[in-house]
């Protein structure tokens, strides 16, 4: 199996290929994706203002799942993390 290195542009294009319907796993994730369509990047603080029916830790797990699936891109660490 050959591995080809992807450029940043190719990675961004892959992220943009997903529609809300294609990646929506649950209501929280669809809210996160719709927030990202409105803003270029978001922080957990922004998402917790929009999703009030669960804990911040649950939102962190949702974001980690979306990053693992390749839907979101994580930049930064700890409280400076942006998606």
Report pLDDT digits (tens) over 6-55: 555 555 545 545 544 444 568 888 888 888 888 888 888 888 888 888 89
Instruction: Name, in order, each residue with C-beta under 8 angstroms of 19's C-beta and a sequence gap of 6 or more.
Output: none
Phi, psi of 75 (to 5 degrees): -130, 135
Model confidence, pTM: 0.64
């Amino acid at each position: 199996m050959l591995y080809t290195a992807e450029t940043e542009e190719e990675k961004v294009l892959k992220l943009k290929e997903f529609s809300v319907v294609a990646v929506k796993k649950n209501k929280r994730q669809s809210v996160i994706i719709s927030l990202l369509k409105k803003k270029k990047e978001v922080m957990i603080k922004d998402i917790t203002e929009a999703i009030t029916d669960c804990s911040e830790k649950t939102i962190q797990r949702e974001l980690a799942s979306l990053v693992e699936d390749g839907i979101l891109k994580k930049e930064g660490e700890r409280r400076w993390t942006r998606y």
